[in-house]
Structure 1
């Protein structure tokens, strides 16, 4: 039985082109870079599909928890696709489940999770997820 996440497990895909400086001295994408891929995939989705205004919006998302498991390496240059789904959707928080795939591959090279808590920009206090964002996130619920 294979426990590696599969492409069919995800609802949305964000293409990303790796960059020269993503590689580390061992010749593959450095482990911390995967968190950047996750953050970029989620925020691109929230901006494009949920109307998140990262510059002037009253609500912002803070990452409060994250993790990643690695199954196989990737190296520059490579086109990857980050699969995205929502594992848990609360009143003010959401747990994303993500996986990194080489373009066209069915099996993930890495998979991770992170939690956003949505807060009021001015007070940094948790607030209910705004309607547009919630609707976009509901489309990703696994």
Structure 2
């Protein structure tokens, strides 16, 4: 996957604490970057109400392939697209890029199932969120 494969990007500033003793961003932070680009998109573009909305997204599957290290200081361009949009679920595809690089430092997938906040039972993807997701379907 190259940079041009992703229709949506969020820029994430790396923090001092992201590095580990080996001098690069620790692997657990990559999953945080996935969460950040996805939820920023859902809130800003899809109108997801994380505080009071009746529907929430739960992660049921995630995976990351590490290709090149990232290191502080710097930024990460987190690319996002939808690989599959179902009735109540969505599979996101993510690419993490160093600023100015066309080749990803990491790629991954992340699957949300939308559920009712109270009962945690699957529900259809809300219309506004579905429309936003359809806009970044690869």
Specify the TM-score bucket, using the shorter chain as the normaliser.
over 0.9
> 1:57 aligned to 53, 56, 65, which one?
53
Partner residue in 2 for 1:92: 88
- Contiguous gaps of at least 5 residues in structure 1: none
Q: Does 1:113 align with 2:112?
A: no
Partner residue in 2 for 1:31: 27
Q: CA deviation at 1:105?
A: 1.0
Q: CA deviation at 1:104?
A: 1.5
Runs of 4+ in 1 over 6 A off after TM superposition: none
What secondary structure does 2:45 align onto? helix
> 2:72 aligned to 59, 73, 76, which one?
76
Q: CA deviation at 1:19?
A: 0.5
Counterparts of 1:44 and 1:91, CA distance in 2: 21
Aligned length: 138
Q: What value does the CA root-mean-square deviation take over the aligned residues?
A: 0.5
Residues 35-78 of structure 1 show CA distances to partners (whole Å, capped at 9, x for unaligned) of: 00000000000000000000000000000000000110010111
